[in-house]
Amino acid sequence: MSPANEPSFRESVDLMFNRAVAIMDLPPGLEEKIRVCNATYTVRFGVRLRGQIHTFTGYRSVHSEHMEPVKGGIRFATAVNQDEVEALAALMTYKCALVETPFGGSKGGLCIDPREWDEHELELITRRFAYELVKRDLIHPAQNVPAPDMGTGEREMAWIADQFARMNTTDINSRACVTGKPLNAGGIAGRVEATGRGVQYALREFFRHPEDVKKANLSGSLDGKRVIVQGLGNVGYHAAKFLQQEDGAIVTGIIERDGALFNPDGLDVEAVHAWLAKHGGVAGFPDATHTAEGAAVLEEDCDILIPAALEAVITLDNAARIKAPLIIEAANGPVTAGADEVLRKKGTIIIPDMYANAGGVTVSYFEWVKNLSHIRFGRMQRRQEEARHQLVVDELERLDRYLGDAWTLRPEFKDKYLRGADELELVRSGLDDTMRTAYQSMREVWHDRDDVDDLRVAAYLVAIDRVAASYRAKGL
Ligand code: GLU
């Protein structure tokens, strides 16, 4: 149980927003306009399943329409409620502004435990929910573009896209009504892993700045850093896997629903993920200690803590005991406003959610652009790029023959250089660039302003400034 003075998730987002606007020079009316959620649509619909009618409750919130379409995932979870959806929609507004994806903020949710229903039943429920939203333009390529979130994935997005297409048979852009679709239904390479990949790119960028690393009382690179991850869902799994396999990080702890695994020498993320898929939990995994009280492992000694599951997992209750000097918020809102204050006082560096998990919406943006342009990225340029590179390689080979033993062209150079970029490489390059640029814009504020001493306020300042500029340009 959280202490009584613990703010709710929505209050936390508002408190963090208020902390930022207090040091900005916005006209009071504009401040209020940006903070409030524009609209929330609640729908209750019935679906006949297992011989009886079941009623479901769903939401779609639109936080800010300073840019359209508005964007944000649809979550399937029993804890979904209006306050949560509105807080998540607000975070989408700031997230999109921070990473410069040209969208307003939105979010949706359906109160459901997806594990209670089989695939066919889930399809009926998802299609019916989509129908209600499409009917009101709350799913629309130019107005509101959902994406996966907790409890949803490619499969649900494909159903939503198909439902929209059935209701808009002559709309040539119908595929752009939702992102996170499977490749064969208009998706883009690299979307599934995008949020986890973004977390990796965010950490790589952080470690490119030794002064920032020092602020977290750390040094060196990601290599050998001890990481604890909470939640081995889509985001946590990909982030932990990439950090382990590509950056040399040691994943010492993995926290899941049924407790946590810990091994100071490192856990094999891929093996734990396979175990989880097979057994439905992490308990029993060999080569690790299992603690039934998973949350306790958040407090273990480590270099980087990655909460990648739910909101409000670091609270007034446990914040003082968190040992990690660096926290990267892969989930939305994992640290409450109260805990944030405790951690800031302790000197913990927090890479905030609106930046840390923005990889998903960034690649969603690429997918939306791909759908509107009706062509795969790289399809026109790839072979032409290869042909031009071939010219250089031909010349180098001529030199190679001429110089004899004195110099030779390395075969790996030739292979790497000759290959034109495919869609996946372009998506990764676009994502990497986005994560670097956004970090630098936050960092500039963090370092340059005396009244800003954490990355979260810096992120809010950059984002709110951009949203305000958009409203001003509209004459508001
Ligand atoms: N649900 C993800 C988020 O919270 C992705 C949103 C999107 O791609 O539109 O950022």
Q: Closest ligand 1 atom, CA of 88? A: 4
Is the CB of residue 66 below 6 angstroms from any atom belonging to ligand 1? no
> What contacts 24+ positions apart, CB below 8 Å, involve 393-402?
393/417, 393/418
- Residues in the chain where the model's pLDDT stays below 70: 1-4
Residue 361 beta carbon below 6 angstroms from any ligand 1 atom: yes
Task: Pick the closest to residue 156 from 173, 133, 189, 190 (CA basis).
Answer: 133
Alpha helices in 105-257 (DSSP H): 119-135, 154-167, 194-206, 210-215, 234-247
Which ligand 1 atom sits nearest the alpha carbon of residue 148?
Answer: 1
CA of 73 to the centre of ligand 1 (A): 5
Q: In whole angstroms, what is the distance from residue 262 CA to residue 260 CA? A: 7
**Residue % of the chain over a pLDDT of 90:** 96
Q: State whether CATH 1.50.10.10 applies to domain 217-347.
A: no
Nearest to 332 by CA among 357, 295, 305: 357
Mutate to test the pocket of ligand 1, among 93, 157, 364, 369 (most ligand atoms within 8 A of CB): 364
Dihedral of the alpha carbons of 68, 430, 233, 207, in degrees to the nearest 10: -120
Q: Which atom of ligand 1 is nearest to the CA of 72?
A: 9
**Is this structure's pTM higher than 0.85?**
yes
Query: Residue 475's pLDDT is what?
Result: 81
Active site residues: 107
Asked if the domains 9-193+440-473 and 217-347 are classified in one and the same CATH topology, the answer is yes
Cα 272 to ligand 1 centroid, rounded to whole Å: 25
- Determine the pLDDT at residue 2: 58
Q: Do the beta carbons of residue 466 and residue 24 sit within 8 Å?
A: no
Q: What is the pLDDT of residue 3?
A: 65
**Ligand 1 centroid distance, CA of 286 (Å):** 34
Choice from 67, 154, 195, 369 to test ligand 1 binding pocket (greatest atom count within 8 A of CB): 195
Atom of ligand 1 at shortest distance to CA of 180?
Answer: 8
pLDDT at 287: 87
How close is the Cα of 444 to the center of ligand 1, in Å? 25
187 Cβ closer than 6 Å to some ligand 1 atom? no
* Amino acid 158: pLDDT: 98
Protein residue with its CA nearest to atom 9 in ligand 1: 72
User: What is the C-alpha to C-alpha distance for residues 230 and 242, in angstroms, rounded to an integer?
Assistant: 15
Number of the ligand 1 atom closest to the C-alpha atom of 91: 4
Q: How far is the CA of 390 from the centre of ligand 1 (A)?
A: 40
- The answer, yes or no, to whether any atom of ligand 1 lies below 6 A from the CB of 91, is no
Question: What does pLDDT average to over the chain?
Answer: 96
- Phi and psi at 258, nearest 5°, equal -100, 30
Which CATH fold topology does 9-193+440-473 show?
Rossmann fold (3.40.50)
Q: How far is the CA of 442 from the centre of ligand 1 (A)?
A: 20
Domain residue ranges in the chain: 9-193+440-473, 217-347
pLDDT at 62: 98
- Note the pLDDT of residue 1: 47
